[in-house]
Amino acid sequence: MTVASSSPPSRLLRAKARPGGDGALAAVFVAPAMLGFLVFLLWPTLRGVYLSFTRFNLLTPAEWVGLDNYVRMVNDPIFWDSLKVTVEYVVINIGIQTVSALAIAVLLQRLTQSAVLRGIVLTPYLMSNVVAGLVWLWILDTQLGIGNEIISAVGLDRVPFLADETWAIPTIALINVWRHVGYTALLLFAGLQAIPNGMYEAAKVDGASEWRMFWRITMPLLRPVLAVVLIMTVIGSFQVFDTIAVTTAGGPANATNVLQYYIYGSAFGRFQFGYASAMSVALLVVLSAITVLQYRLTRAGQTDLG
């Protein structure tokens, strides 16, 4: 009898811990995302990694070649050169973009409440990368671009912005800063909104300057948001492709042959899908490493607000 009377509560507990009806419902909710994850993320990733160990031209079956593609990659000066060009692009692009976005965000928060201004900041982002690239290509054309016409009209030498080894990468980096800075500023602006206004008021009472408040209040409290924004923009920046494709096509003399463009050319131009996959895997490793490092260094998961 005692045995019988003690068993029902435990059954009840079990039932509470595993409510069968909710489980099925949860599965239904998760299924679409799970399907997308499996079909569009996991499977292609695994297949890409597999292809990096093969010689594959897309039309005939892949042929296993072991580490050949990786050996070739390590010995390929063009690969290292394109990695260098990519890093140069990312440093210029992210450096200038983050600082200007931060400045714009702080100005938006501290100086104005105008929704129109906030909208204007975002306008370049409404344009597609390809259109932005083409418009700047025409503005900056050495012979015919209006930008160079103005430069030459004020008596300076024309600048081959997109046609010179030294100028091409900084120019493309700045074109993309122009397009993305508003969006980045908006993300940071949202982060700023989360900082309690009382802190600034208290600081003002204590006689702190705007400059001091920026370094002592804004920066520390914005850090987690800034870190996430940095991680996202760095990943995006490493994947620069469309602007390059429409403005310089990797030239002059491979000066803008960024990794994504080299991968694309190897795959779709030269039908070397195995080698292109190997370089994609390398890019994946680089990006993962940078992301982990950034996450750790910036303590993106913690906040100082509290």
Partner 1 sequence: MRRRTLTALAGALTLSLVTGCAQGDSTGASANTVTYWLWDANQLPAYQACAKGFEQENPGLRVKITQLGWGDYWTKLTAGFIAGTQPDVFTDHIQNFGQFVDLKVLEPLDDLGIKDSDYQPGLAANWIGKDGHRYGAPKDWDTVALFHNETMVKDAGLTADRLGNLSWNPEDGGTFEKAIAHLTIDRNGKRGDEPGFDKNNVKVYGLASNGGGFGDGQTQWSNFAASAGWSYLDKPRWGTKYQYDSETFQSVIQWYFGLAKKGYMAPLSDYNIQSNQANTQVAAGKAAAAFDGAWMISTYAGFKGKDIRTALTPVGPTGRRATMMNGLADSITKAARNKEGARKWVAYLASDACQTVVGSHGVVFPATRAGTEAAVAAYEKKGVDVSAFTEPVADKKHFRTFSYPIASYSADMTALMAPAMEDIYGNGKPVSSLDQTNEQINLILSQ
Q: Kindly tell me which of 41 and 127 has the beta carbon lying closer to partner 1.
A: 41
**In the stretch 240-269, what mask flags binding to partner 1 with x, by CB under 8 A?**
------xxxxxxxxx--x-----xxx-xxx
CA–CA gap between residue 114 and residue 144 (Å, rounded): 38
Q: Kindly tell me which of 109 and 141 has the beta carbon lying closer to partner 1.
A: 141
By CB under 8 A, the residues from 139 to 158 that bind partner 1 are 141-145
> Should residue 96 be labelled a site residue for partner 1 when binding is judged by CB under 8 A?
no
CA–CA gap between residue 179 and residue 182 (Å, rounded): 7
Q: Are 229 and 102 in contact (CB under 8 A)?
A: no
100, 239, 298, 303: residue in contact with partner 1 (rule CB under 8 A): 239
CA–CA gap between residue 260 and residue 199 (Å, rounded): 45
> Should residue 298 be labelled a site residue for partner 1 when binding is judged by CB under 8 A?
no
E strands, the chain, are 54-55, 63-64
> Should residue 47 be labelled a site residue for partner 1 when binding is judged by CB under 8 A?
yes
- Tell me whether residue 293 is exposed, middle or buried, using C-beta atoms within 10 angstroms of its C-beta: 0 to 12, 13 to 18, 19 or more: exposed
25, 27, 34, 58: residue in contact with partner 1 (rule CB under 8 A): 58
Q: Are 287 and 238 in contact (CB under 8 A)?
A: yes
> Should residue 86 be labelled a site residue for partner 1 when binding is judged by CB under 8 A?
no
Q: Are 188 and 225 in contact (CB under 8 A)?
A: yes
Per DSSP bridges, beta strands 54-55 and 63-64 are antiparallel
> Should residue 235 be labelled a site residue for partner 1 when binding is judged by CB under 8 A?
yes
Nearest to 246 by CA among 232, 233, 264: 264
Stretch that binds partner 1, among 192-200, 201-209, 218-226, 281-289 (CB under 8 A): 281-289
Positions in the binding site for partner 1 (CB under 8 A): 40-41, 43-45, 47-48, 51, 57-60, 134, 137-138, 141-145, 160, 162-165, 231-232, 235-236, 239, 246-254, 257, 263-265, 267-271, 273, 276-277, 280-281, 283-284, 287-288, 291-292, 295, 301
